[in-house]
Structure 1
Amino acid sequence: MASAAPEFAGIIPPLVTPFDAEENIDTEALRAEIRFHLAVGVHGLCVTGSTGDGQMLSLEQSVTVAKIAVEEVKGAVPVIAGIIRDSTAEVIRYGLALKEVGVDALQVTPVHYLFQPDEETTLDYYRRICDATDLPVLIYNVIPYALIPATTVYRAIQEIPGVVGVKQSGGNIHQLADLLKAAPTEGVVFTAVDDLLYPAYLLGAGGAISATLTVVPQLCVDQWDAVQKGDHKTALEIHNKLLPVWRAIDGSNMTVRIKTALKLQGRTGGLGAHPLTPVSEQEEAVIRAALVEAGAITA
């Protein structure tokens, strides 16, 4: 059975992994980003997920990123480490290594290369990971062609003690609505449907772990706080500022678009890793305009 979980809720940005020109991790840039988010008042941090190019990272790189996050956070907020792999054995291997550096939880995708397990095998996949690592696990339901049905996610949260929630992504607000209606009592449902963060909170989402939070965390914390206070006028106004930001960073080269958005704000997200498509001048102009509209930078 997994160890007692810390409180997971609210705004948990998934951080980028900064690379230098040789595609090594830029550790100083990573530390600066972590400090920036902590100063804003986020409620947790997620590393080595999709926004952090987790699918590209070796075990050693994943451990380096997680170790830096744990060092910088110093227990102030939970640190969640993503694992994007295609076998139970590999997930457990990464999970045990990440546990050694002190992360608070794992965020684990389903397997997704070509073949999908059935419901019982999917449940066994998460059960084995929880048992082997003795860490809380969030299901990362993001792979478009391998989305776990809401009914299976519900069962996992209710039946597997170590599964403490789900990050419902994949652009599927309908599945998110189904999960929130089911209202699992043993874990939290996070939204990662970036253009519908506000409605997701109204439906009962316990927070968000999504790319927009990484780009403009202050706005996202302000929106979350407004919802908690019942200030829906402010929450809707912020929604309308966040929407163009998401539209600008969404794309097949999303992580390098996010790093461009950070650069435009005077932050250092580092370079992208090959073969991600570099950001074009036109894309950068769109990102700049969205940040101006959101009030994150001046024209």
Structure 2
Amino acid sequence: MRKPLFTGSGVAIVTPFTKDAVDLDAFGRLLDFQLANGTDAVIVCGTTGEASTMTYGERMRTIEYCVERVGGRVPVIAGSGSNATPNAIALGRDAVRAGADGLLVVTPFYNKATQSGLVKHYTAIADAATKPIILYDVPSRTGVTIAPETYAELAKHPNINGVKEAGGNFSNIQKTRNLCPDDFSIWSGNDDETAPICLLGGQGVISVAANVVPDRMHQLVRLCLAGDFAAAGKLQLDLKELCDALFCEVNPIPVKTALEMMGMCGGALRLPLCEPSEEHRERIRKTLVRYGLLDT
């Protein structure tokens, strides 16, 4: 029987940068803030962490630092996806050497693999991995959707722990839940879909919003897992404006801007990402004020 890598709210944490390096001091402060406010897992060097613009050495040092700072208090899950299967295997191997408790593996982008190709890709990664892996379905970024029948096939592999589902297709999620065994976990990959996915048997969320409201995202999932969906639904609706503001431009532009405004870290992004428009910056500022995260 597989145990989920975590239950609750896992933060898809940003990577703070200086002009030409990872700002590990600021990263440490972000990790401390997360751990002090109930975050149940840290997902490092994922999409929100801008891993695709980091060097290999930067990625491994950031994972290693994250593991050291967290100190076993919650699981550390490292992004290790690639559109080349051997690269994904190597990233996963080295992330585990750096101390990661699990791996988050996005669908192969650009190549647009078939469902058969996805089974072979993930099976090769899972066969080579020495820690559990979480699949990551995010078709808006990769152009590939994992079909429910493909999940059912992949769920047979003991090293595949479940999926971060960011496809937004609730019909597919229901079919996946019906086709897969109970110990194949589903986590929401979209903050504003956390409660609905938990209602369908999900284990929680891998969250962007948790970067700024870790306590509220933790509470949202706690209510869901306790079966109090009336209170969870109310909190989910209350968080909607914040979730929308944090995606008013491509992630992680808004959330990094929000953290900079809150004085948590610098807002430096790596090209091709760049600072938000003034209109969106003002929207983010006003939203932070409304949620009590920034003074007027």
Query: TM-score, with normalisation over the residues of structure 1?
Result: 0.91
> Which residue of 2 is the match for residue 287 of structure 1?
284
Distance 2:121 2:62 in 1: 25
Gaps of 5+ in 2: none
* Structure 1 residue aligned with 2:252: 255
The 1:62–1:198 alpha-carbon spacing in structure 2 relative to 1, beyond 3 Å, is: same
State how far apart, in whole Å, the 2-side matches of 1:146 and 1:251 are. 23
1:275 aligns with 2:290: no
In the TM superposition, what are the counterparts of 1:193-208 in structure 2 within 5 Å?
Answer: 193-208=190-205
Q: Does structure 2 retain, via aligned residues, the 8 Å contact 1:241–1:293?
A: no
Equivalence for 1:138: 134
2:48 aligns with one of 51, 69, 88: 51
User: Can you list the C-alpha shifts for 1:101-125, whole angstroms capped at 9, x where unaligned?
Assistant: 1101110012121x33333332221
Q: Which shifted more, 9-18 or 208-217?
A: 208-217
Distance across 1 between alignment mates of 2:65 and 2:267:
16
Cα distance in 2 between the residues matched to 1:242 and 1:69 = 28
Residue of structure 2 in register with 1:151 after alignment: 149
Q: CA deviation at 1:169?
A: 0.7
Match of 1:222 in 2: 219
State the partner residue of 1:30. Answer: 27
What's the CA shift string for 1:156-179, capped at 9, x where partnerless? 12x111100100013333333332
Counterpart of 2:15 in 1: which secondary structure? coil
Query: How much does 1:263 deviate?
Result: 2.1
Q: What's 1:129 paired with? A: 125
Q: Distance in 1 between matches of 2:203 and 2:114?
A: 28
Counterpart amino acid of residue 130 in structure 1 = A
Deviates more, 1:216-225 or 1:285-294: 285-294
Residue segments in structure 1 that go unaligned for 5+ positions in a row: none
- Aligned-pair Cα RMSD in Å: 1.9
Aligned residues of 1:263 and 1:269 also touching (Cα < 8 A)? yes
What do residues 32-71 of structure 1 show as CA deviations (whole Å, max 9, x unaligned)? 1111101111111101111111222222111011001100
Tell me the residue number matched to 1:21. Answer: 19
Task: Give the corresponding residue for 2:185.
Answer: 188
Query: Mean Cα displacement is larger for which, 220-229 or 72-81?
Result: 220-229
Name the % identity: 29
Aligned counterparts of 2:35 and 2:64: Cα–Cα separation in 1: 16
- In structure 2, distance between residues paired with 1:298 and 1:233: 31
- Counterpart of 1:217, as a letter, is P
Question: What do residues 109-155 of structure 1 show as CA deviations (whole Å, max 9, x unaligned)?
Answer: 12121x33333332221121122222211001113311111221222
Q: How does 1:101-120 map to 2 (within 5 A)?
A: 101-113=98-110, 115-120=111-116
Q: 1:294 to 1:199 in 2, by over 3 A?
A: farther
Q: What SS is found at the alignment partner of 2:187?
A: strand
Change in Cα spacing, 1:11 to 1:87, as seen in structure 2 (3 Å) is same
CA distance in 2, matches of 1:156, 1:107: 15
| Secondary structure of 2:136 counterpart | strand
Is residue 127–residue 160 contact of structure 1 (8 Å, CA) maintained in 2? yes
The one-letter amino acid of 1:255's match is P
Q: Which moved more, 1:228-237 or 1:98-107?
A: 228-237
How far apart are 1:251 and its partner, in Å? Answer: 4.2
Equivalent residue of 2:252, what SS?
helix
Q: After the TM superposition, which residues 67-106 of structure 1 pair with which residues of structure 2 at under 5 Å, given as runs?
A: 67-106=64-103
SS of the residue corresponding to residue 11 of structure 2 reads coil
Alignment: residue pair count = 293
| AA aligned opposite 2:134 | L
Equivalent residue letter for 2:287: A
